[in-house]
Structure 1
C-alpha cells in the first residue's frame, strides 16, 4: 500500500481524477454519465450520474482489487482494527452469508442464536450446513429476546465439538450484546471461528462509552452495516476478517455471488464514510449519545413508556447495552409497538425504524437534530394522552423458541405442498415467515408449526406488522414439507 493516511479516500480521489480527464465513454452503463437518461439525471443530479461508472484501469475492479479499491479496503481495515476489510455492495446480507459460507461446507455444524437475521439462515440453505441453535433468553416483561448466555453456548460447544463456528449478534436489533470476548476465547479453545453479525454495531469501534467492537476482542470475522450508523449509502457494507482467516479464500466466496459490476457510488460512500468515522468518530457519537440519553430521559418522564438502557445489564445474556439505541417499550400504554409506529407515521409524519408487538425502535444518528428529538417526544406524549388503552389481552412474547425438525436446506428443497395457514399446525414449514423489519424469522424452513406460532402470526397481522417470507404474499397459505405432521 502507498503511504496513505486516514485523511485519504482513494476511491473518491480516483473518481475525481477520472472526471477531470473528460473521458469519452464507449463502455457501460448505457446512460453515459446521465446524458442518455435526462429524467434520471434530473432526479439524481449530474454529479451523481457522472460517477456511476464501470470498472476501468484507473478505478480498479471490485472482483480483483489491486489499486485504489484495495487501498481503500486497507484503510478501512486499519480504522476498524482488522487484518483486512472487504467492501460489500450487496448489503450486510452478503457479508453475513460470506462469513458462514467461508466457515461451513455441506454437513458442517454452526452454533448460532435462533434470533438471527434471515440472511444467516439463508446461508445455511445455500451451503447445507446444520444450525445448532441457542434459544436466547427472554425478558418477558419487555417481550424481547436477549443475547446468548455463556453457559448455553458452552453446553452447545461440548455437545457439538465438531462445529466449525459460533455466530453472535453484536448487538441485537434492540441494542443487547453478548459477551463476545468470552465467546471468542471459547470458540478458539475448541478450534472454532467466532463470527459476528454487527449490522447494528459499526459505531462500536469509534467510542469508548459503547460496547466493544467484535474485532477488538478476538472475533475472526465481522459483518458491518456501514449504511446504518456509519453514514454510507443504503446497501453498502463491510466484511472484516482477522489474521487467522484466508483473505484469498474469503474473496473467492464473495465472488460466487457478488456482482461483477460494482457500484462506484456505493464504494465511494464506504470510502468517504470510513474517513469520516476515522477522523471524527468520537465527536460524532458523543453527539448521538447525548441526544439519545436526553430522549430516553424525556420519554421515561411521560409515563407508561419505558425507554430502556444499561440498567438491564446482567453480565451474561445482557452483557452490555448499546446506549445509542432508543428502544421503547409501548405495551404499558395499551398499544403494540407496531400501532405506535403506525400512529407516528400516519398522524405525526415521523418514521421510526420498526415496531413489533411490544416495542418501537427510533434510530438516532449524527443526522438527527435536537428539534427532531423534541418532536418525537411530543408525539409520543400526545399518543399516550389520546390513544392509551387497557393492556389486557395483549400478547407478551416477541420470540417463540422453535422446534427444529431438519436442516434448512433439506426443508427448503424438499417436496412441499401449500395449505391454508389454519391447517398447518403440527407440520414442518418449508419457507420463512417474519415481520420485517427486523427480519428475524418467526418460522424458518425445517421448523415445526405450532398453535402458539400460528396465534402469534395472526396477532402480528391483526396489529399491522409487515409480514414477509412466504410464497403466498398474502400469508393465507404456507408451504409445508410433504408428509410432515398427521
Structure 2
C-alpha cells in the first residue's frame, strides 16, 4: 500500500460506506436482487413511514458496496478508519448489536472446558456465549455498595487471587464501565492477565465515549492494552440501534476473529446500520472530544441540581476508592431514590407516565438517565424539575424497601451443562435449593439474577417476587409470567 493511499484511507473526514451508497443512489440501478421491497416501491406503507431516503439505501451486498462477511473495499476502509479512530489494531463493524460483539469476543478466546475469569454482574450476552461454547466461568464476585445496593468493580486482589487459583484460565473479562458508570483498575488487570499468559477482554457497551474523553473520562480498553473490546456505538456514539464495533489489539489474529463473527452474524448485513457506524465514527473522530466534554458538564450540573433537591442521591466521583471503584464515568447520571420512599422502577414509571420523560432504566433502588451527544440543557432542566415534583408529591417512608441489587451466586454447574441438561418446570416457590437451567433478569440492564447452573436460594426468590411486584420488566424464562422456573431434573 502506498504512503499516499495510507493517508487517504486514514482521513477521518471520510465515510466510505456512506460515500458508496450516495454514489449508488445516483446510478439508478434496476434491482433484480433482494430486498424484495425494491427500493421501497413494493411496500408503499413502509416507504411512507421510513421515507424514500431510508428505504432507497436498504440494499443487498454487491461489488460496489462490498460484503460484510469478507470485506475488501469500502467496508474494509470503514473498518480501518474505525480502528484508527479508536486506537485499535483492527475494528469490525457489527450489525447484531453489542450482544453479537461480546459473544464473538468470548467465542474467539474460549472453547469447551476453558476457564474464563469474569465478574458475575456481566450482561447476559457473556453468559449466553458460555452456553454456546461450553467454557466455564470463574466468578470474581464484586463488592456491593450497601447504601446504593449496586455492585462495584473487580478489586485488583480479587483478580490476582482468581488468576493464581486458576492459572489455566484463558482470559479475564472486565466491564468498562458497569451500567452505573463504575470502572475497575483496567490497566492493572490487563497487566495481571498478560503476566499470567491470559488475554484481557472488555465489555465496553457503555464506554464508547471513553475513546474521546481526552483524559477527563476513564481509560478506554484499547488505551489500557486490552486485547479485545466490544463497543456499543449506538448507545453513546450516536449510530443506529443494533450497530456496534468489535475492537482488537495486536495480539489477536483478525482473520480468525472474522471467522468467529461469521459463525453467528447475518450474511445480509444492513447498510443502514453499517452506514450509521461509518458516519458516527466520522462524527466522533472529528468532534467527539468537544461533544463528550459538554455531555460530562451537563451530567455534573444535573447531579448538583438533583442533590440540591434533597432525598435523592445522584452519585459521582466521590465513590472512587482507588480499587473496587477505581474510576467513575461522569457522563452517567445515576440517581438513588430509596430515601424518598420510592423504588427506582417506580420513579421510572412516574417519569414516563406522568411527565413524558423516558429514562434508560429503573431498578430496585436507582434510576439511570442516559446522557449522550443528542442531549440539550433544556431537557436536563425538565428532568430535574420533574424529579423535584415527584419528591414533593410522592415522598413517603421508605421502610420495607429492598435495596440490594446484587446477590452472590452459588454455582453448581457450567452454563452450557445446565442449559442443555434434562429439566423440569416447577412453581417458583418450589424451586428453592434446585439448580436453575435458564436465565432470570430485569431488563434493562440485562444482568442475570439467575443464570443456568446456579442454585436457587430463598433470597433470590424474594428478590424476583419483589422486583415483579414493583413493576420491573422481567425476562429470560420460558414462562413469560415467571410463575414457574425450569430446574435440573
Alpha-carbon distance in structure 2 between the residues aligned to 1:110 and 1:433: 22
**Counterpart in the other structure of 1:9:** 15
The alignment status of 1:312 with 2:319, answered yes or no, reads yes
**Counterpart in the other structure of 1:170:** 176
SS for the counterpart of 2:374 is coil
Alpha-carbon distance in structure 2 between the residues aligned to 1:22 and 1:340: 51
Report how far residue 295 of structure 1 moved.
Answer: 0.7
**Counterpart in the other structure of 1:251:** 258
**Counterpart in the other structure of 1:93:** 99
**Counterpart in the other structure of 2:165:** 159
Residues 255-282 of structure 1, C-alpha deviation per residue, up to 9 Å, x if partnerless? Answer: 0000000000000000000000000011
Map 1:115-154 onto structure 2 (within 5 A): 115-154=121-160
Report how far residue 371 of structure 1 moved.
Answer: 1.1
**Counterpart in the other structure of 2:444:** 437
SS for the counterpart of 2:247 is strand
Residues 397-443 of structure 1, C-alpha deviation per residue, up to 9 Å, x if partnerless? Answer: 11100100010000000000000001000000000000000000000
Residues 165-197 of structure 1, C-alpha deviation per residue, up to 9 Å, x if partnerless? Answer: 000000000000001100000000011000000
Alpha-carbon distance in structure 2 between the residues aligned to 1:346 and 1:264: 35
Alpha-carbon distance in structure 1 between the residues aligned to 2:241 and 2:268: 17
SS for the counterpart of 2:285 is helix
Map 1:406-445 onto structure 2 (within 5 A): 406-445=413-452
Map 1:323-342 onto structure 2 (within 5 A): 323-342=330-349
**Counterpart in the other structure of 1:26:** 32
Report how far residue 360 of structure 1 moved.
Answer: 0.0
Alpha-carbon distance in structure 1 between the residues aligned to 2:293 and 2:119: 31
TM-score when normalising by structure 1: 0.99
**Counterpart in the other structure of 2:279:** 272
SS for the counterpart of 1:65 is coil
Residues 352-385 of structure 1, C-alpha deviation per residue, up to 9 Å, x if partnerless? Answer: 0000000000001121111111110010000000
SS for the counterpart of 1:112 is strand
TM-score when normalising by structure 2: 0.98
Alpha-carbon distance in structure 1 between the residues aligned to 2:81 and 2:277: 11
Alpha-carbon distance in structure 2 between the residues aligned to 1:357 and 1:296: 20
The alignment status of 1:40 with 2:51, answered yes or no, reads no
**Counterpart in the other structure of 1:261:** 268
Alpha-carbon distance in structure 2 between the residues aligned to 1:50 and 1:284: 31
Report how far residue 234 of structure 1 moved.
Answer: 0.1
Partner residue of 1:107 out of 113, 131, 138: 113
SS for the counterpart of 2:202 is strand
Alpha-carbon distance in structure 2 between the residues aligned to 1:379 and 1:21: 51
The alignment status of 1:358 with 2:365, answered yes or no, reads yes
The alignment status of 1:379 with 2:386, answered yes or no, reads yes
Q: Judge conservation of contact 2:40–2:56 (CA < 8 Å) in 1.
A: yes
| Matched length | 482
Alpha-carbon distance in structure 2 between the residues aligned to 1:154 and 1:293: 34
Map 1:218-297 onto structure 2 (within 5 A): 218-297=225-304
Report how far residue 286 of structure 1 moved.
Answer: 1.7
The alignment status of 1:348 with 2:355, answered yes or no, reads yes
Alpha-carbon distance in structure 2 between the residues aligned to 1:24 and 1:432: 47
Residues 321-340 of structure 1, C-alpha deviation per residue, up to 9 Å, x if partnerless? Answer: 00000000000011000000
SS for the counterpart of 1:314 is coil
Q: Judge conservation of contact 2:233–2:243 (CA < 8 Å) in 1.
A: yes
The alignment status of 1:63 with 2:86, answered yes or no, reads no
Alpha-carbon distance in structure 2 between the residues aligned to 1:177 and 1:267: 29
Residues 94-123 of structure 1, C-alpha deviation per residue, up to 9 Å, x if partnerless? Answer: 010011100000000000000000000000
Runs of at least 5 residues in structure 1 that lack an aligned partner in the other structure: none
Alpha-carbon distance in structure 2 between the residues aligned to 1:178 and 1:376: 29
**Counterpart in the other structure of 1:82:** 88
Q: CA RMSD in A?
A: 0.6
Q: Judge conservation of contact 2:237–2:373 (CA < 8 Å) in 1.
A: no
Alpha-carbon distance in structure 2 between the residues aligned to 1:417 and 1:215: 44
Partner residue of 2:186 out of 177, 180, 186: 180
Alpha-carbon distance in structure 2 between the residues aligned to 1:403 and 1:356: 23
SS for the counterpart of 2:130 is helix
